[in-house]
Structure 1
């Protein structure tokens, strides 16, 4: 018989209420108290993923949470990962390995069979830690999906752990969302919820005092904290593409402007974060229906979970015309992973890995062809840039291989092998390496080629750790961490 696991689960009243961020901050806060903590999310849906040292993949949010804990990544931190892609549904990744594709209906039927793997991973993590902080998915009150649930109450009951609700006051209706969630749940599920956290509060917290009484009266729940809005959260890596909405940054005419077309299946867009964090860089996400800005210094084509479908989408938007005009003006174009594949002459999918589109012409900016085929490449990588010999690091996560004359002028060398391609004039370049711009020296040199004399002071990885420390202090100040720990030890 397995011993009880010391764990606490955080479920939301909806999507994007800040579950991932709060769990990351609480991970760091409890680590600072001397505990060995591990993050866990039973099921995640995101095309923003990270590669584990053993060649698996997990959600990017769990990678950030693991960093907050000071742990290496493990496939057991996120045993089920769904990666949406075009017309074949979602790619299903279980304990780091792709087991196939499934439509929403097919996945609903598959979910109950995945619970043993989810629990196996949960108990595997528990073998070597004092506390597991578990993140739910979406809303705790998706009662229409309850029968086969492995992400929220279904998991909480199977693992027998207490639950804290998270509500987002910034979007409004937080009282109704907490009380309504509690009302929709079954009696045994309501009993499992021990309280709630209010996230993203702005203004005078004393004005919310009467609301606490209302929630207590209507839902019989106590508050474990009202968390003021944490502005620096925008500088941390995000979990899914919802976070790309409405991102603005004040810039001036000296800024380096990077235009990024928003693909329908944009993936691993945290590649943009180090660039966005630079004070003199403007990263503009260009939505469908809008032209790519003519004053851009760089057009960056990001990763995609459906390269062919997104390549067709690029043409539907007329972005291919904008890109070629940008090139004629002497602008730079960077392609990462799926975006790199698009830069070639042709992209083929003979086995229908992504869907019904078998072949499309690429943008023709690099003389190469890509064939989508297995097995999936998943590996960490280190090396250097061939043009300046500066170190780079990151990970590869892709299907397919790219070959052709352009590969004779590689952009990078990774793990001792030439990788990617760069045009003879140095203005068109692409690579399969995600995380490329996390390397400070390389990023500073890359941007310095565009704006001579720019000041390069940002240390991106150090900034992430500093913000996690600030977030932990923020939560220590505004949350009842002793009360949360007491819930764990009551079991």
Structure 2
């Protein structure tokens, strides 16, 4: 933006955090740096030009963006904005995605059709970055997947092309836990053209277990072969939790075999198009129970509860439940007194039917649900995206709603009372609970973020556990961000990274 005098505002510096592959730790490193620089007094913001994820959230304006950037914004102490994630792709099948542009649905595109529109999306993403750079001191940019996919590099809008546009210094993150870390780093550097390789200022080795001093020779080898300094080795941590970026962390469910049998256990059905799986991370953090994801039909009788999660394609996931026989297992479990909960798409699946007269999720038609809740859903646009405050059994909670369609309740009782949506007061209700209380459903993502709500639900389903004494929601997340920042400072060469923030690297 040009000042009246004609003086051009100085744009913020950018540091880009790229990876040797998916799920190597880019998001966590970005989050740690956002928090660190915020604690140093800088106005820092995260940015990811294009995110592919069904794990999304809602801004205060009711706009949709990737949850990873919401987490990073919280860590930076700033209000999440769609400028931080201007392009969001939500896969709806093997070959296509719903495109969310600047927080609003732009349409469904096949991979080929999306590729043809890349220049349009790059311009939107670049404009968003410009606005962030005008208003802040530092932007921490996150890449996507591997930054060295040579067949995609020419059309890539999120890795080195965007780093070039921003004149960003690049930190390359590699994951030692998955093995082959030397090949990850050296192979990535070998795939990069020289002008991209020159942008890489250092390497971070993530998820190290054991005595870090024993990896000194490994660091020296990487520095010699890759020609880049190792900025530090981040040990594996277990004493705090940061929200996961994407469902890659649950792509290989361990299932019942992972249970110890010493604690009450709950199950989440791992739908093919599962979305917002982070709804269940608070349950996974509870020491009193075990939680596992199940993708293959099995006897559910030993579980204290079963959850059907959100879905990016509810009708396809409902069809999958029927094709695999999961529907019969879930119904049998409920008929024999089991406790079943559905969140968002899972709520719709538990109902009597899902009507899709406009073909929102494919071919127009109607599907019979599992019939465990007296509700019916009609799929239709526009998408509901709200930040919501509610009460459950008189306990205040906050969450968000992201769904297509509306659901009408024909019996039972509402699950929650809604106080406001996007800061607009309401006296609405949401969800459904059958008279026995054994089957519930709601559109409220984040309902398990409030420990007192979880304690109340556990008590209702017969789990006599010690109430949680830990903080929940934002307070708990802010504590974890602070510990992540300290973890980052302890193990990375921050002096070098701080020179990047000043443009002196």
TM-score under structure 2 length normalisation: 0.92
Contact 2:173 2:204 in 1 (8 A): yes
Per the alignment, do residues 204 and 87 of structure 1 end up closer, same or farther by CA in structure 2, a change over 3 Å counting? closer
Question: What residue is the counterpart of 2:273 in the other structure?
Answer: 265
1:458 shift after superposition: 3.0
Q: Secondary structure at the match of 1:73?
A: coil
Q: What is the distance in 2 between the residues matched to 1:431 and 1:113?
A: 37
Cα 1:181/1:254, change in 2 over 3 Å: closer
Query: Could you tell me how far 1:83 is from its partner in structure 2?
Result: 0.3
The answer to whether the 8 Å contact 2:263/2:289 transfers is yes
Choose the corresponding residue for 1:306, options 306, 313, 316. 313
| Separation (CA, whole Å) in 1 of partners of 2:292 and 2:203 | 36
Shift of 1:238: 1.1
Choose the corresponding residue for 1:33, options 18, 27, 40: 40
Q: Indicate the residue corresponding to 1:460 in structure 2.
A: 472
Pick from 116, 128, 153 the counterpart of residue 135 of structure 2. Answer: 128
SS in 2 for 1:413: strand
3-state SS of the aligned residue for 1:58?
Answer: strand
- Residue aligning to 1:431: 442
For residue 454 of structure 1, report the CA deviation from its aligned partner. Answer: 1.9
Instruction: Give the match for residue 368 of structure 1.
Output: 375
Shift of the alpha carbon at 1:78?
Answer: 0.7
CA 1:452–1:321 in 2, change beyond 3 Å: closer, same or farther?
closer
1:442 aligns with 2:453: yes
Looking at structure 2, the residues matched to 353 and 87 of structure 1 have their Cα atoms a distance apart, in angstroms, of 17
TM-aligned CA deviation for residue 273 of structure 1: 1.1
Aligned counterpart, 1:239:
245
CA contact (8 A) 2:253 2:294 kept: no
For structure 2, list consecutive stretches of 5 or more residues without a partner in the other structure.
1-7, 421-426
TM-superposed CA distance for 1:460, in Å, is 2.6
Deviation at 1:398, TM superposition (A): 0.3
Aligned to 1:284: 292
1:413 aligns with 2:417: yes
Q: Which stretch of structure 1 is more off in the superposition, 95-104 or 248-257?
A: 248-257
Give the RMSD, CA atoms, in angstroms: 1.9
The whole-number CA distance in structure 2 between the counterparts of 1:176 and 1:341 is: 45
Aligned length: 486
- C-alpha separation in 2, matches of 1:61 and 1:30: 18
Alpha-carbon distance in structure 2 between the residues aligned to 1:148 and 1:324: 47
Q: Is 1:256 the counterpart of 2:264 in the alignment?
A: yes
SS at match of 1:465: helix
Distance 2:485 2:166 in 1: 27
Query: Separation in 2 of the partners of 1:190 and 1:358?
Result: 51
Task: Judge conservation of contact 1:87–1:354 (CA < 8 Å) in 2.
Answer: no
Q: Deviations over 1:179-216 (max 9, x none)?
A: 11111111111111111111111223333333333333
SS of the counterpart of 2:272?
coil
Aligned-partner SS, 1:54: coil
How far apart are 1:247 and its partner, in Å?
A: 6.0
Does the residue aligned with 1:225 lie in a helix, a strand or coil?
Answer: strand
Pairwise mapping of residues 71-220 of structure 1 onto structure 2 (< 5 A)? Answer: 71-86=78-93, 89-220=96-227
Q: Residues of 2 paired with 1:452 and 1:121: CA distance? A: 48
User: 1:248-280 CA distances to partner (integer Å, 9 max, x unpaired)?
Assistant: 898765633221110000001111111111111
- What CA distance in whole angstroms lies between the structure 2 residues aligned with 1:251 and 1:279? 13
| Whole-angstrom distance in 1 between the partners of 2:52 and 2:239 | 24
Matched, 1:398 2:403: yes
Counterpart Cα distance in 2 of 1:463 and 1:39: 20
Q: Could you state the TM-score of these two structures normalised by the residue count of structure 1?
A: 0.94
